[in-house]
Structure 1
């Protein structure tokens, strides 16, 4: 795939000297607001959301190639990032449509790719809840939606990062039953969105297994969904479905579990193009900020978050 000058420049901005994307994610909105409010015991102001994001950005970006932020509370933080770090901005509304089936996505009302680019974005990121097992009617809507976004990014000559997160209605996505189904969800999603018609430049994907159910893994919780060899084969199978660059997302697991999954991908010989690591690096600091304030959180980030 030949990259246009704008797309190439944007990808270089969010990659390190070796061409690897080692980015931090701080575009959480609804979930972060709820978590902070729960720890604080009262409502969370816009100023607090902006401060939390700014502290994470300031402390972590000297160690990252880029930061992913949202334009709702993240723009002040984007100005506090290290000079070496590029900027990805999220374009979707937080969460999904709960009024009907299919977890349908929506875009931020007052934003466009043009406006995000004017606000300083080097790349555009979209999150989509997706499963190949949904009805044709639901997935057709999602496919058309992604096609439109691909065209909008193409028209503005800016890289398009598509993040897809698997799910199954009525099933615990962290549980054993979904762990058995997860490889197929991840693999078929990668096979779909790697198609040129979507205009995706980088896929932001989940690891195709749940490490808690990999026999012999350090994260193993005692119930086996896959042997280590099967897990490695699934990493390879998912990678072979992709014809576009892809990076792994941390999906809210612990730092230790995410690191172990990356080690397994490496052992399997998977040539992934980097990581976008979010909650794994800062979520344990939420109570620190909520109860002890900004300075205590900064110190926590400098010791624990940077690890």
Structure 2
């Protein structure tokens, strides 16, 4: 069971609702968001465009979120206009990875530290790690040491460490294939098991669901990788692989599929503690913003975007478990 300092406990409460459920909004995308905006705009998209879209999302959607995840490169203006009761997570990693180098190695933003992120108003620090449990041991050892450093830095600053793990297969780049779907449960669950070890000092895991729902019997009209019973067993195994609080990322699926996935997780016995939901909430608002301007983007967020997050909140109340159940009495900071 996770032991938290008083400061970490207070921070997690700021990021959650009164029941200990995290209903967080994620818009820490950088390069990918810039490409999304550019794809719908005839004019060149500078930094101002990505900054402004993040501000609109923060203004319009944080009244319905327990917290928001932003990046320090483009997102701090959006942090300043968030709803007064919404907590703030800030990303610490460089966006993307070097596709020409082996191992998808992690890298920090060189001009930031956990101390500086905390001074900028962060309630928690998030780090994204690409991880293949079956990759070369030297690569994974590098990642293990790296995460030990980040965890120690967060512990020294007495701020929660959210570790986001995105699994992959070093031998198969196509994560949307049925071949990857078949190995995904192993990749996701074993990565969770590894980074639940105490040396990483992780407070909350942000993880993928253990299956590709598009290959689950009953959720697809095409070929399947798992029966409903097999998929449910993977959700249960994932939940039992860690004693840490964990939340699901949306991985860019539709709002509808993400909601159905959370219901499936609950029915399978998963004790997940909320979500950090990004593109499933706001991605369809990028096109009107890029094509027609700020007011069109804001109008979409006020309508469909708000509806997406309110519907998700209803599902969360029915499906997520309080992280209070996974936290023991507070301990003093080292």
Same fold (TM over 0.5): yes
Q: Secondary structure at the match of 2:127?
A: strand
1:204 and 2:206 matched:
yes
2:124–2:160 contact (8 Å) kept in structure 1: yes
Separation in 1, partners of 2:71, 2:182: 33
Q: Give ranges in structure 2 of 5+ residues lacking alignment.
A: 308-334
Q: 1:283 is matched with which residue? A: 283
Whose RCO is larger (CA < 8 A, sep 6+)?
2
1:19 and 2:20 matched:
yes
Equivalent residue in structure 2 for 1:179, among 178, 181, 190: 181
Separation in 2, partners of 1:301, 1:180: 36
RMSD: 0.9
Separation in 1, partners of 2:241, 2:159: 24
Q: Give ranges in structure 1 of 5+ residues lacking alignment.
A: none
Separation in 1, partners of 2:100, 2:215: 33
Per mean C-alpha deviation after superposition, the further-off stretch among 251-260 and 19-28 is: 251-260
How far apart are 1:42 and its partner, in Å?
3.9
1:40–1:291 contact (8 Å) kept in structure 2: yes
1:102–1:138 contact (8 Å) kept in structure 2: yes
Q: 2:265 is matched with which residue? A: 265
Matches within 5 A, 1:287-298: 287-298=287-298
How far apart are 1:221 and its partner, in Å?
4.1
How far apart are 1:168 and its partner, in Å?
1.9
Query: TM-score when scaled to structure 2?
Result: 0.90
Cα deviation, 1:34-61, whole Å, max 9, x if unaligned, reads 1111111343111111110000011110
Q: 2:135 is matched with which residue? A: 134
Matches within 5 A, 1:70-81: 70-81=71-82
1:97–1:105 contact (8 Å) kept in structure 2: no
Separation in 2, partners of 1:180, 1:296: 41
Matches within 5 A, 1:120-199: 120-169=121-170, 170-199=172-201
Q: Secondary structure at the match of 2:222?
A: coil
How far apart are 1:163 and its partner, in Å?
0.2
**Structure 1 residue ranges (4+ consecutive) displaced by more than 6 angstroms after TM superposition:** none
Q: 2:238 is matched with which residue? A: 238
Q: 2:328 is matched with which residue? A: none
Per mean C-alpha deviation after superposition, the further-off stretch among 172-181 and 138-147 is: 172-181
Query: TM-score when scaled to structure 1?
Result: 0.98
Distance 1:103 1:221, change over 3 A: farther
Q: Secondary structure at the match of 1:40?
A: coil
2:238–2:270 contact (8 Å) kept in structure 1: no
Cα deviation, 1:277-303, whole Å, max 9, x if unaligned, reads 000011111111000111111110111
How far apart are 1:97 and its partner, in Å?
2.5
How far apart are 1:243 and its partner, in Å?
1.4
2:71–2:91 contact (8 Å) kept in structure 1: yes
1:97–1:106 contact (8 Å) kept in structure 2: no
Separation in 2, partners of 1:284, 1:84: 26
How far apart are 1:133 and its partner, in Å?
1.1
- The number of aligned residues is 305
Q: Secondary structure at the match of 1:306?
A: helix
Q: Secondary structure at the match of 2:3?
A: coil
2:169–2:180 contact (8 Å) kept in structure 1: yes
